Structure 1
């Protein structure tokens, strides 16, 4: 279940919610978060909160016309880096191909380069 194992949920500016644990990070608009649609991608070790915010912003821009959509980004820490799941809750009809659209967003080389620059860990 999304958000499972996250004991402390913090409210951010703008009504967003974040949860952190040793296992990962979740950024969502509603709690508990839910994935009605989702796509996953791997990243190297980056700052999870910064990466999640960038992914969430681009995800929202890409599917903002999807009625009843509420973005969720979950990042799990892996031995090789990060496993990022992006998608969210949809209150209503889920259009065909939306998961492919989210996957294309996560796999876009230009976006990935921008996200990595923004979320790179300091030296």
Structure 2
């Protein structure tokens, strides 16, 4: 079994995904998205941000998802060992604001307006109960 190399820090209203601890933002950009599974959302954003910035020497991505009204506030960026080029924040903002990315992230995270910042582990723990209830409704007594 492989071990995740990502640190996931949860509070009542936020989730932070980072490679290193403590999570540090040397460079960042912010956007707002519809609510969905924060862990799935953070991983998707991290992947796209990494694809854009993988040539930046010493870059370690960090994504912070915070519940805000009917959606979530996303702060994406990370720690950079060394010099941070002037256009790095603009590159991150470009990734965050690209319509195709946003649509894919929300779809993957199961985004729904009005959904709370939920814990995907709790949903997975109870999934067998939901499946059993669905199966029982499908059966008929003859």
**TM-score normalised to the size of structure 2?**
0.75
Unaligned runs of 5+ in 2: 113-142
Secondary structure, in 3 states, of the residue corresponding to 1:15?
Answer: coil
For 1:85 and 1:92, locate their aligned partners in 2 and report how far apart those are by CA, in whole Å: 21
Aligned residues: 111
Separation (CA, whole Å) in 2 of partners of 1:106 and 1:89: 17
Deviations along 1:6-31, one digit per CA (max 9) or x if unpaired, are xxxxxx93411101111210000001
| Structure possessing the higher radius of gyration over alpha carbons | 2
**Correspondence for 2:109:** 119
Moved over 4 A (4+): none
State the match for 2:94 in structure 1.
104
Q: Larger % of strand: which?
A: 1
5+ residue gaps in structure 1? Answer: 1-11
Residues 1:121 and 1:42: Cα distance change in structure 2 (over 3 Å): closer
- Tell me the C-alpha RMSD between the 2 structures: 1.4
8 Å contact from structure 2 (residues 31, 73) kept in 1: yes
Q: TM-score, normalised by structure 1?
A: 0.86
The corresponding residue for 1:19 is 9
